[in-house]
């Protein structure tokens, strides 16, 4: 008689891997958006906020590629420069982008409501907190200390220029797991507000949780969200939540403040033998 044995993790969640802009700091994810708008304006190419947000979550050079691949932006670039954007153009744009982004990051280091309380609760439960980002290390060297001053200080930070490739590849998640000393991957939860965040977590074999209200998909500040009518807020929230679920998110919540109760749900599912894959 033949048997096939299958090990199934039944323990609790040991770590969460959080995104930065739009998830834990920078409500609405405005820092990259503002800089991309200025960057392309300097190139005599007009882009919209939707264009600027189109690659959010990716390593910023890949983000640039995504913007330039949009048909209206490609046409505008062709009209302004007489040719399609080349890799040399992308390199030049990225070189100009980095100091512009560095100069404004501290303005967008304020924690999103619920962030500090959620981290405290996770630590109380002996859950470690890692992080991944689309920002390269030189950017995080400015953003992270300011965020720490404001009360947010994760246990681990991994940037896309420290691994072979950024999102949607899982390498930053793997590096977090190694640095935190946490395994198996089913014991980790990836949390973020962009579609690449969700794909990153799924590719890493982790539970993936999307944030629908505070991030890039809605792209509104906290004050702007509060100014919406209840019907308007529900409509935009439903739209972004649908996109996150369609990307494969296991759960979608309004903001990081709802994460502890989702950890409880995930722990319950794990105890019944469920896996994120």
For the beta carbon of residue 160, count every other beta carbon within 10 angstroms: 23
Average pLDDT over residues 94-102: 95
Task: Transcribe 54-77 into DSSP letters.
Answer: TTTTS-HHHHHHHHHHSHHHHHHH
Nearest alpha carbon to residue 162 among 178, 147, 150, 183: 178
Residue 5 has pLDDT above 80, yes or no: no
User: What tokens were used for 58?
Assistant: 């990716």
Q: State the pLDDT at residue 3.
A: 76
Domains in the chain: how many in total? 2
Average pLDDT over residues 244-273: 97
| 235 in Cβ contact with 277 (< 8 Å) | no
Residue 275 has pLDDT above 80, yes or no: yes
At residue 170's C-alpha, the angle toward residues 106 and 37, to 5°, is 40
Which one of 107, 128, 145 terminates a domain? 107
251 with 200, same domain? Answer: yes
pTM of the full predicted structure? 0.92
Average pLDDT over residues 233-242: 97
Q: Does residue 228 fall inside a structural domain?
A: yes
pLDDT tens for each residue of 208-234: 999 999 999 999 999 999 999 999 999
pLDDT tens for each residue of 43-79: 999 999 999 999 999 999 999 999 999 999 999 999 9
The domain in which residue 185 lies consists of: 15-29+109-271
Please report, for the domain that includes residue 98, its CATH number: 1.10.150.240
Residue 276 has pLDDT above 70, yes or no: yes
Q: How far is residue 112's CA from residue 101's CA, in Å, rounded to a whole number?
A: 20
Active site residues: 19, 60
53 with 178, same domain? Answer: no
Please report, for the domain that includes residue 131, its CATH number: 3.40.50.1000
171 with 261, same domain? Answer: yes
Q: Does residue 276 fall inside a structural domain?
A: no
pLDDT tens for each residue of 139-190: 999 999 999 999 999 999 999 999 999 999 999 999 999 999 999 999 999 9
Average pLDDT over residues 96-101: 95
Q: Which residues make beta-bridge pairs with 251?
A: 209
- What separation in angstroms does the CA of 211 have from each of 148, 196, 241, 268? 22, 12, 8, 21
Which one of 107, 134, 152 terminates a domain? 107
Q: State the pLDDT at residue 1.
A: 63
Q: Does residue 60 fall inside a structural domain?
A: yes
Q: Does residue 10 fall inside a structural domain?
A: no
Report the interhelical angle of 60-69 vs 31-42 (nearest 10°).
Answer: 60
Residue 6 has pLDDT above 90, yes or no: no
Cis peptide before 177 (omega within 30 of 0): no
227 with 238, same domain? Answer: yes
Average pLDDT over residues 193-216: 97
Q: State the pLDDT at residue 51.
A: 95
């Amino acid at each position: 008689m033949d048997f096939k044995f299958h090990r199934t993790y039944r323990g609790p969640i040991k770590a969460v891997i959080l995104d930065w802009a739009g998830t834990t700091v920078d409500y609405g994810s405005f820092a990259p958006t503002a800089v991309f708008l200025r960057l392309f304006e300097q190139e005599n190419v007009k882009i919209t906020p939707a264009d600027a947000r189109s690659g959010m979550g990716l390593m910023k050079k890949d983000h640039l590629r995504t913007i330039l691949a949009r048909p209206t932006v490609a046409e505008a670039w062709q009209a302004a420069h007489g040719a399609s954007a080349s890799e040399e153009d992308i390199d030049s744009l990225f070189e100009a982008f980095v100091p512009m982004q560095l100069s404004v990051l501290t303005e967008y280091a304020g924690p999103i409501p619920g962030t500090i309380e959620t981290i405290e609760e996770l630590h109380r439960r002996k859950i470690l907190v890692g992080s991944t980002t689309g920002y390269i290390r030189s950017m995080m060297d400015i953003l992270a200390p300011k965020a720490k001053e404001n009360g947010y200080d994760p246990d681990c930070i991994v940037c896309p220029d420290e691994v072979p490739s950024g999102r949607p590849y899982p390498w930053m998640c793997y590096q977090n797991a190694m640095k935190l000393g946490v395994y198996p991957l089913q014991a980790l939860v990836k949390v973020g507000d962009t579609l690449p965040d969700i794909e990153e977590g799924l590719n890493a074999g982790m539970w993936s949780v999307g944030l629908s209200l505070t991030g890039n998909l809605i792209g509104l500040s906290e004050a702007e969200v509060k100014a919406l009518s209840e019907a308007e807020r529900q409509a935009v929230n439903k739209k972004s939540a649908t996109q996150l679920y369609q990307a494969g998110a296991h759960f979608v919540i309004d903001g990081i403040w709802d994460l502890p109760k989702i950890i409880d749900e995930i722990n319950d599912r794990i105890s019944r033998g469920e896996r994120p894959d």
